[in-house]
Amino acid sequence: MELYGFDAFSPAEIAEKVEKIGVAKARLPFLQMAMLGVLAGAFIGLGALYFVLVTSDPDLGFATSRVLGGLVFSLGLLLVVVAGAELFTGNNLLAMAWAAGQITTRELLRNWAIVCIANFVGAAGLAVLVWLSGHPAMNHGLVAEQVIRLAAAKCTAPLGTLFWKGVLCNSLVCIAVWMAMAGRSVTDKMVAIVFPISAFVAAGFEHSIANMYLIPLAMLLKDGGLPGVPMAEAIGWGGMLRNLGVVIAGNLVGGSVLVALIYHLIYRRQAG
C-alpha cells in the first residue's frame, strides 16, 4: 500500500476506508448498532461533563477557559473512535457510501435514526447518573450553575444561529473522524482528533449529542432548585426539542454535505 507522510494513509486511501466502513456500519444488526449508539451518547456526555467542570471555574480567562474546555471535551470522540461506538454525527460520513451506491437510502436512514435515538438514550441516561451522583454540586454549585447557563443559552438561541453553528460543528467533527482514519496508532488518532474538536467547542458551535446530555441534566438541576440563571425557564422538553431539531439538521448538512459528499466528488466519483 502506498505510504503517505509518516506512514499515514493518504486522503484517497482514507476516502476508500470511509466508504467501506460506511457499508459495514449501515449493515450492523439492530441490537449491536443500538448498544454501540448508547455507548457513544454516554462517551460524548463524559466529554461534556469534563468541559463543564473546566469552564465552571470563574478564575480562568475567557480564552483559557474555552480552549481548555475544548481540549478536555475531546475525550468524548477519543472514546468513540478508540474504544468503539456508533456516533450519529460521525456517521454522517456514511453519505459517502450512499453516494457511491454501496448502501441504499433506507440503510442510510435506518442507521442515522437508530444511532441518533440510541445516542440520546446514552447521553440522557448519563445525565441522570450524574445528577444522582451529586457531581453538579462541586465547586460550591458552580458546576450546576454552568450546566443551567449553557442549557438556557441553547434553548433560547435564534434558530438560524443554532443551524449554522450545527453546520460548522459537524464539519469539524467529521474532519476529525476523517483524519483519525489516517492514523495507524492510538497516538496518531489522538493528535488528529484533539485540534478540530477543541476548535469547535472553543468556538461555541452546536453538537446535537452533547446537547442531549447538557439539556436533560439542566432540566433535572432546575427542577431541584439549584442556582438559576436568566432565561432558565426556557429549559424544558419544548426548549430541548427546539434545539435538537435545528442542530441535528445543521449537523447533517455539515457532516454529510460539506465533508462526505465533497470528498466523494474529489476522490471516489471516478472510482465508482
Reported as type and span, the H/E element at residue 103 is none
Q: 8: which DSSP letter?
A: B
pLDDT in tens, 127-164: 999 999 999 999 999 999 999 999 999 999 999 999 99
pTM of the full predicted structure?
Answer: 0.93
Is residue 270 very low, low, confident or very high in pLDDT (cuts 50, 70, 90)?
low
For residue 24, what pLDDT band results from cuts at 50, 70 and 90? Answer: very high
Catalogue all structural domains in the chain, each as residue range(s) with its CATH number.
11-268 (1.20.1080.10)
Give the cell for residue 39. Answer: 455507548
Q: Is 153 exposed, middle or buried (0-12, 13-18, 19+ CB in 10 A)?
A: middle
Evaluate if residue 225 carries a pLDDT over 80. Answer: no
72 pLDDT band (50/70/90 cuts)?
A: very high
Confidence band, pLDDT 50/70/90 cuts, at residue 223: low
Check: CB of residue 94 under 8 Å from CB of residue 259. Answer: no
CB atoms within 10 A of CB 232: 20
Element (H, E) at 250: helix 237-252
What band does 230 get if pLDDT is binned at 50, 70 and 90? low
Q: Is the pLDDT of residue 224 over 60?
A: no
Average pLDDT in the 5-9 region? 69
Distance separating alpha carbons of residues 258 and 242, to the nearest angstrom: 24
Mean local confidence (pLDDT), 224-238: 71
Residue 1: predicted pLDDT: 40
Mean pLDDT in residue range 252-269: 93
- The grid cell for 176 is 476529525
